[in-house]
Amino acid sequence: MSKYLQTATYWAPSTLNEYGERSYSAPVAINVRWEEKTEEFIDKPTGKEQQSHSIVYSESDVVEDGFLFLGASVSSTPKDVAGAFPIRRFDKSPRLKANRYIRKIWL
């Protein structure tokens, strides 16, 4: 039985246009467990300590600089969706038996 009973919408980062603005892939529904909680984490690019808005556990891999929204959305861009948050960090670790992974996402 899955522990990921909530649905989130994920937009993967795509290319940059000539103005340096990011575009995003089509939205994809993924199964998650979403926690509205603050947690300190180290930002990989800068190495600085940051605080999350939410912690999300997922069955699916995601990419930093993508976006997540708790719920279903068909919007082509996360910038138009109130409550869509940028993925600030993603870690993937094997479970003890190494047959599944724990995927943790900081927003």
Question: Domains of the chain (ranges plus CATH)?
Answer: 6-106 (2.40.10)
Q: Against a cut of 0.85, is the pTM above it?
A: yes
* Mean pLDDT estimate for the chain: 92
Q: What is the pLDDT of residues 14-53, one digit of tens each?
A: 988 788 888 999 999 999 999 999 999 998 888 899 999 9
Does the pLDDT value for residue 100 go beyond 90?
no
In the prediction, which pLDDT does 74 show? 96
Dist. CA 67–CA 13, nearest whole Å = 8
